[in-house]
Structure 1
Amino acid sequence: MNAGFARRTFLRTSAGGLAAASASAVSWTAEAPLARAAGAEATTDDPHEQAVRDARTEWNALPRDPRLAPHLGNGRLVVRAVAAPGGRGVRLLVGGPGTRSAEPPAGVLELLFLGAPTTTRCVLDLWDAELTGRVTTTRGTVTFSALVDRHSPTLLLRARTEGGERLSFTAPPSEGRGLPLRSVTREHGDRHLLAASPADATGVGEGALRELLATGTDAAVTRHRAWWHAFHRRGYVSLPERSLQRFHRAQTYTLAAVTDPRPGRLADAPTLLGPSGHLDIGPVPAALEQGPSPAFEHLAGALPGVGSKAGRTDDPVRASGALALWEAHRYTGDPRIVRDLLRPALAGVVGYFSGFLMEGVDGRLHLPVTHSPGQADVSDCTHDLSLLRWAVATLVTATRRLREKDPRLAHWEELAARLTPCHTDTTGVMIGAGLRVARSCAEPSHLTWLLPLRQDPHPGADPALARRSLHHWAGMRDAWHAGSYAVGAAMAATLRDAPLALELLRHLTGAPGDGADVLAPNSLYREAVSPRAAAPFPAGQALLELLVGAGGDRVDVFPAVPDDWPDALVAGLLAPGGHVVDAERHAGRTRWVRVGAADGDPLTLRHGIDGDTEVWTSRPGDTMPHRRVAARPAGPGAVLVHPAPGATLTVLRPGDDPDLTVHQVAAVH
């Protein structure tokens, strides 16, 4: 046995990290709200908690614009805190995540002060998912904290006054058709409690809210914190570039705050759910339990042949939720996703679109005019061709794997074979027939084949075409906004272009100014109205893909780590196939890799460790690697192994004694 394993405790970090104890009971109603001071030393030795608390966001004054405001949420209910009109209080905008076009505007609650504020400090603590503030006024001091309960559509707020300050709660009418709210308050001396929920929420009527404030608040907050602490411990990223490490934590928090878990929201499911290991909070589990969406209303506005005149609706493939289903299948391998959800959705979309295809003089099938989002109306639109090509190919593959005797299979195979290639020129892939990318555009819709589809633009395409196409678009940034930088970084990471990905990420998260091309202080886009639309999840995906590969059929560790990151550590990230990855890079070299095998199938692991290596295996419940296993070389820095189902593989250099626990790497930025 490797001597190092005899001396070190073998902790399965991806299964929960360092002693992931449940949150201790709190007395939330009695304790005073307290915001951690900027630069304060950590009061815990738990690296998960240290990293998440370090990513807190602070405001010296609450903004008036909700797009710049701190946000709380549980996927169904999202609350944003802004300054009340006149500045004498806090206005809470209570609404949904913004995943429905018919979603009503947010309802409004206000916490009003007697005096005029002189100093304000608010902190969004991601570890507890709680907003805490301290406001000094001309009459005294107000401290408050607010959270959206993880387990119910309920906003909880507590406040305490000092000196001559007094509080009042109001519910002014919101502009337009605002979300109706019900709220109750409870007051005891200088302490105030409020509970509020949407008026149509099930199980949280006024009586339930009163009972919650009277007897159940502390228990609810304890459960809420326990959920968030366990959530944050399920994945860990430590980078020497602390600003991007904090950005990752903010993205993970927002993922849980605004991802709508209802099955009808499949089209809005972020692709970040897979690599971050949080598919369970998305809509796929509910879709598997409740069945697919009952209809294809998304097809009504997508009429090939009329372009944007039919309204700029989503492409039917995107709107059907098929992309989210495929991503979930890639990361879980669950056959039910393909059989019960993905295949029926794709069959409907392909059947709809195939009726609009036209045979050209070249014998190929062509698309009439459709709209390339953010670009133009064009025939043979690359955006729609790419989605249709992917849909047909995936449908054929799924039908064959399921061994379904579907009479439509021959028709689908013919579509796949005859669909026209994307149009190209010397600059790369074009927007469509006769239309090249000649000027800056914010949305790279013509690169949809690259991401999210992860395909070549067409069968047999030159491998250099993808990089040339991306760099041509990325070389013209006059019209770019923050979303362009986020998507561009994700595409660069997919191509393993670390310098370009890092350049775009740094601009997005750290460039000076308050323009539309950089993120707001709350780590969201400045121009988007709804919380879900404002989340820059593609940028979060880019960062993770530099650390753990998200394409292909092998586990690829540190595939494109920038040279600026000599050290890095990841734990609990997910690779396609459902394999859980922990790994450390030190002094520019991969030191060790650990992979939890999801099944017993042969596994190609590109560990990236130079020189000789050993592969050790452990079984569930083992406290250290159990025995060495045979591994066949599969190229430089790669091995082919046959793990037992549920086994954990550890790869390291012979005689090395690495620290396999979760810890922070040294900061260099």
Structure 2
Amino acid sequence: MTPSMEDPSRRAVIGGLGLAPLIPAHIRSAPGWRLRDNVSRPEFLKGQDLIWGRMPRSWYEGPFLGDGLLGSMIYQEPGQNKVRFTVQHGRVQDHRPEFGSGWGTCRLPVGHVTLDPVGTITAVDWRLNLWDAEVTGTITTDRGKLSFTAFIHDECLVARAEAGGDERVRWTFHPEEAVSPRSASEAPPSGYTPNPAWTTATAGDVQQVLQPLAGGGQTATAYRVKDGLLLVAVAHSFPSATQAQQSALGTIRNAPSYGVLRKRHQDWWHDFYGKSFVSLPDQRLQSFYWIQLYKVASAGRAGGPVMATTGPWLESTPWPAVWWNLNVQLEYWLIHGSNHLELDSLTSTLDRNRDQLVANVPAAYRADSAGVGRSSDMFCTRSVGTPGSGAEVGDLTWALHNVWLTYRHSMDDKLLRDTIFPLLRRAINYYLHFLAKGQDGRLHLPSTLSPEYPVTPPQDTNYDLALIRWGCQTLIESSDLLKIDDPLKPKWKEVLATLVDYPADADGYMIGAGTPYAQSHRHYSHLLMIYPLYLVNWDQPEHRELIERSVAHWQSLTSAHRGYSFTGAASLYAMMGRGDTALSYLERFFDPASRYPCQANTHYAEAGPVIETPLSGAQSIHDLLCQSWGGVVRVFPAVPAAWQDVTLHDFRTQGAFLVSAVRKGGRTSFIRIRSLAGAPLRLKHGLAGSVRAELSDGRSAPVKDLGNGVVEITLGKGNEVLVYTGTRPDPVIAAVPVSKPGQPWGLPAIPPPGPTTPVDLSAHFDNDGVSTHETMTDGDFDGSGYTYPAEELPAAGPFVHEGLNFVFPAYGDGAANNVTAQGQTITVPSGAYAKVRLLGAANSGAVTATLTATYTDGSTAQVPLAVPDWGGQAGAGVTEVVRCTHRHGRAGAHSLRVGLFEVQAPLDPAKRLRSLTLPTLTRPQVHLFALSLEAIKG
């Protein structure tokens, strides 16, 4: 018997008899290697948890729970001494497509639960435990303490609370009107009628709220409260008007015990976290990354509805649907590298809604085409216009690129044959109906819209040309792989050979023919050929200068940029191998001075709640650590210089490889690759010196040097190889030391501030931004006649916010009560101060500007100032003081919930401050209601 065939049971017996010296040395010494995972995930993830030492007040600050369908946010009930647990569900939507996706097929609100203490809340101490995917904590009141645990499992919100002292556990469910979340900011379309009112029912100890819908179907909520334990279930049915009631009721009645539910829930999440591992030396970014994995698993599961832009955490927002021209793609990219294909509800959504995708194109093209409009419901219900009409037509093709990525990361031929090939064939066919040869002999595309670029749609938009090229190339490769003799293959080849070149000018890639990139644009739709399609890439030296020029020009015009403009730039520079530049762009997304920063709980705001950009930030981290485009696996291709140590484990790449790699002291120690499909492996390893590749049994794997740092390694399905230089290292996976500490995400407790000195602003008041309920037309905060409701603002006079002393202005009819920034110089009591603290807000958008601090020694300093829009949210370093339930306007109360914020900016405590000069602004504008100066403690 050869050593490789020796019976392991016999080997164990011999060893047990003490006969090991009789075994040949080549058998005893075990020449192979074994990758060891030394990470204690419970302990590691505890270090990534979100912490709340003060009460969150909004969607952008609170803990969040979800199971891919049901979702809940936890924060203070606006204006009340209660804690809100929102209850929303990804399948709950309206069914009236005649009113569009914003109103007719939008996601609909369900309701929320409040935990109602007896006493006044004085403190909170909460933790979002990532490992167990639950929120735990205490609520301290002047009457005692409430302790609670909450999680969501199998479409059931489970919350258990206990009371101490004179407190009591009181849970209350509040149904919400089934109306579009857009109602907070716009009137309904003509002809729209409200959905019927909800009704209630009781079935034993289970309470129900039943919501019929005007377009058919039903939403049902069932809940039970017993001994402090709350169970809430939501179901939605369509077209059935009764099925949801029975489904929700059954969920509650059939729920197992609390202990069983919790164990099942925790088992799912513990298995989830074991599928991959990433460790970074930057604590804040490391935690952010793991929170995004928790978030995407809370928001989507294969077989469930495709994620809306708010995920399952619906709130008042302009985005209560699915957006197909950027948002949905960004939401799902990180599931591939993180080895979580089980979360791909985008692929399952497109697969089961093929008939609707066909119905979305004009009738004349349905025999062979398919498409989807810019936004839709979970059934892909949205018609698409035709090229030549200026319509946006490429969104299905781009969404199918995500599905193709799932194929490439799984190498599942069934997915390629049954879903990607037939749908992509139809998506590209739609383009083929409109491509026409010009006088130059090249194929041209009539006018189409480059997503959201605000000009007359040009011909030959780069957005569509890139998608056409990618689609035809992918169809040819797929038909070859699947051995399909498709009659359209000659046409696809003709398109690739004769399609017009991408329009470009001296600044790089244009929007389209005759339309330069001439104004700021948040999307990078005109750069898709570079990222994420990689049709034009850094491995093509002839294109490098054009790539650099195009990306630099896109980033040079910044006024319209949003958070994903930064994450997109990070990924583009990572493709170039420029890790430091990529990291600098990614960090802008976390800069509180940014116009659209990441929020305290890692959620994001852009005119309302959206979740795609933080998820794309996790993909930007992936792009720094491992890339696999163009048939090459690239390990540590763009690691920033500051990240001397990095660990990557079971990172899934194209070709269905699992990559584990460790970087120590700025050098790659080893790379372990396991093949799940037996695909060809080409590896850009980044190792210095002669590369060695060993199979797990110690045998050498065949290695072919392809040049430029790329090797080809023969690796069969199910096999794994260790790649290194020099002496074989001990392959161990472990968390890396943190070299850049950072505070936890959430709202950690704020240390008591130093002594504060209020500054009298009354001499500078020039705006009336407050009105009473009786005289809503008094005042004009924003230039459009809107004002804060006086009834919900602090009383005039001394006001304390988180230990800071302010003087809030008096307000009354016609009384000026705030300062608009017009370059005024405000004299302050002379003294040494560490910070300036402002109470105020901006209108017409957030403001990033500077104050000028003048010191008694004659020196000046520019002090950065970032003030949120009054309808926006507080970013890092900003706290929300008040969130009103509405605002006043010329036509009465308006549903936009406006806020007032406390903003801090640093001063030089070694000098004595004389005055502060406000910036000179027009629109957007900053309004200051109060100002205080904080000295150093003690």
Shared fold (TM-score greater than 0.5)? yes
Q: Could you tell me which residue of structure 1 aligns to residue 808 of structure 2?
A: none
Q: Give the AA of the match of 1:304.
A: P
Contact 2:60 2:600 in 1 (8 A): no
DSSP-derived class of the 2:79 partner:
helix
The match for 2:580 is: 499
2:255 is equivalent to residue 255 of structure 1 = no
* 1:334-483 equivalences in 2 (<5 Å): 334-375=412-453, 376=455, 377-456=457-536, 462-483=543-564
Separation in 1 of the partners of 2:120 and 2:136? 19
Q: 1:561 to 1:638 in 2, by over 3 A?
A: same
Matched, 1:551 2:629: yes
Which residue, out of 217, 222, 244, partners 2:258? 217
Structure 1: distance between partners of 2:340 and 2:61: 26
Kindly provide the amino acid, as one letter, of the partner of residue 654 in structure 1. Answer: G
Could you tell me whether the CA contact under 8 Å between 1:62 and 1:122 is conserved in 2?
A: no
- Per the TM alignment, residue 165 of structure 1 is displaced from its structure 2 partner at its CA by 1.1
> Counterpart of 1:283?
345
What residue number does 1:235 align with? 276
Residue aligning to 1:307: 390
- Aligned partner of 2:700 in structure 1 is 628
Matched, 1:522 2:601: yes
Which residue in the other structure is 1:206 paired with? 249
Show the 5 A alignment for 1:185-196: 185-188=224-227, 191-196=228-233
CA distance change for structure 1 residues 381 and 644 in 2, over 3 Å: closer, same or farther? closer
Moved more, 329-338 or 81-90: 81-90
Alignment of 1:1-16 (within 5 A): 12=35
Q: Give the whole-Å Cα distance in 2 for the aligned partners of 1:357 and 1:645.
A: 42
User: What's the offset of the Cα at 1:456?
Assistant: 1.7
TM-score normalised by structure 2 residue count:
0.62
CA contact (8 A) 2:351 2:419 kept: no
Aligned position for 1:34:
none
- Summarize the Cα distance change of 1:433–1:111 in structure 2 as closer, same or farther, 3 Å threshold: same
Report what 1:197 is aligned to. Answer: 234
What residue number does 1:30 align with? none
Deviations 1:489-508 (A, max 9, x none): 12222332212210011121
Report the CA distance shift for 1:198/1:600 in structure 2 as closer, same or farther (over 3 A).
closer
The superposition leaves residues 105-136 of structure 1 with CA deviations (integer Å, 9 ceiling, x where unpaired) of: 24222222222211122221111111123111
Deviation by residue 1:237-284 (Cα, 9 ceiling, x = unmatched): 111112211111111111211125237739636121111111122137
The yes-or-no answer on 1:614 pairing with 2:614 is no
Task: Give me the whole-angstrom Cα distance separating, in 2, the residues matched to 1:416 and 1:614.
Answer: 40
Shift of 1:649: 0.4
Q: Residue 274 of structure 1 corresponds to which residue in structure 2?
A: 336
Q: Which amino acid aligns with 1:512?
A: P
User: 2 CA distance for matches of 1:199 and 1:435?
Assistant: 46
SS at match of 1:370: coil
Shift of 1:97: 4.6
CA shift in 2, pair 1:629/1:503, >3 Å? same
Contact 1:134 1:141 in 2 (8 A): yes
1:540 partner SS: helix
* Structure 2 match to 1:540: 618
2:657–2:676 Cα contact (<8 Å) kept: yes
Counterpart pick for 2:111 among 98, 101, 107? 107
Residue in structure 2 matched with residue 126 of structure 1 by the alignment: 130
Q: Which entry has the higher C-alpha Rg, 1 or 2?
A: 2
Match of 1:51 in 2: 44
Shift of 1:655: 2.8
- 8 A contact 2:520–2:561 mirrored in 1: yes
CA distance in 2, matches of 1:238, 1:430: 39
Q: Which residue is equivalent to 1:37?
A: none
Matching of residues 70-89 of structure 1 within 5 Å? 70-89=63-82
1:606–1:207 CA distance, 2 compared to 1 (3 A)? closer
Q: List per-residue Cα deviations over 1:573-617 (Å, max 9, x = no partner).
A: 112101101111111111111110224444222222212343221
Judging changes above 3 Å, is the alpha-carbon distance between structure 1 residues 640 and 527 closer, same or farther for their aligned structure 2 residues? same
Deviation at 1:358, TM superposition (A): 3.3
Assess if the C-alpha contact under 8 Å between 2:235 and 2:248 holds in 1.
no
Q: How many residues align?
A: 618
Q: Per the alignment, in what secondary structure is the counterpart of residue 627 of structure 1?
A: coil
The 3 A distance-change label for structure 1 pair 210 and 430 is same
* Gap runs ≥5 in structure 2: 1-23, 94-100, 181-210, 212-218, 238-243, 308-323, 361-371, 374-382, 742-938
Identity among equivalent positions (%) equals: 28
1:634 match: secondary structure: strand
Q: Which moved more, 1:638-647 or 1:72-81?
A: 638-647
Shift of the alpha carbon at 1:204?
Answer: 4.6
Instruction: Label 1:659 to 1:460 Cα distance change in 2 as closer, same or farther (>3 A).
Output: closer
| Alpha-carbon separation, structure 2, partners of 1:373 and 1:258 | 25
Residues 313 and 165 of structure 1, relative CA distance in 2, 3 Å threshold: farther
Q: Does structure 2 retain, via aligned residues, the 8 Å contact 1:114–1:165?
A: yes
Q: Would the alpha carbon gap of residues 609 and 302 (structure 1) be closer, same or farther in structure 2, given more than 3 Å must change? A: same
The one-character-per-residue Cα deviations of 1:87-113 (angstroms, maximum 9, x if unpaired) are: 322222222359974221242222222
3-state SS of 1:415 partner: helix
With over 3 angstroms needed to count, the CA separation of the structure-2 counterparts of 1:122 and 1:517, relative to structure 1, is: same
| Structure 1 match to 2:770 | none
Cα deviation for residue 397 of structure 1 reads 2.4
Per-residue Cα deviation, 1:401-426 (whole angstroms, up to 9, x for no partner): 32322222222322232221111011
When structure 1 is superposed on structure 2, of 575-584 and 137-146 the one drifting more is 137-146
Which residue of 2 is the match for residue 135 of structure 1?
A: 139
Please state how far the C-alpha of 1:331 moved relative to its aligned partner. Answer: 1.0
Contact 2:655–2:680 (Cα < 8 Å) also in 1:
no
Q: Deviations over 1:423-476 (max 9, x none)?
A: 101111001111212232211211122222121299997332122211211222
Q: Please say if residues 585 and 591 of structure 1, whose CA atoms lie closer than 8 Å, have aligned partners that are also in contact.
A: yes
Partner of residue 26, structure 1: none
Which residue, out of 135, 150, 153, partners 1:146? 150
Q: Give the residue type in structure 1 aligned to 2:223.
A: V
Change (3 A) 1:528 1:342: farther
Q: Which residue of 1 aligns with 2:873?
A: none
Q: Which amino acid aligns with 1:280?
A: E
Pick aligned residue for 2:223 from 184, 196, 200: 184
2:53 is matched with 60
CA contact (8 A) 2:148 2:162 kept: yes
Give deviations 1:155-186, integer Å, cap 9, x for gaps. 11111111111232222231443874523334
| Greater helix share, structure number | 1
Give the residue type in structure 1 aligned to 2:121. P
Gaps of 5+ in 1: 19-45, 619-624
Q: Is residue 317–residue 387 contact of structure 1 (8 Å, CA) maintained in 2?
A: yes
Distance 1:9 1:233 in 2: 24
Q: Which has the higher contact order (CA 8 A, sep 6+)?
A: 1
Cα deviation for residue 479 of structure 1 reads 2.2
Counterpart of 1:378 in 2: which secondary structure?
Answer: coil
Q: Answer whether contact 2:670 2:729 (CA < 8 A) is retained.
A: no
1:21 matched to which residue of 2? none
Contact kept, 8 Å, 1:131 with 1:147, in 2: the verdict is yes
Cα distance in 2 for residues equivalent to 1:491 and 1:391:
21
Q: Which residue of 1 aligns with 2:810?
A: none
Q: Distance in 1 between matches of 2:681 and 2:467?
A: 30
CA distance in 2, matches of 1:528, 1:98: 23
When residues 393 and 525 of structure 1 are mapped into structure 2, their CA distance, relative to the original with a 3 A threshold, is same
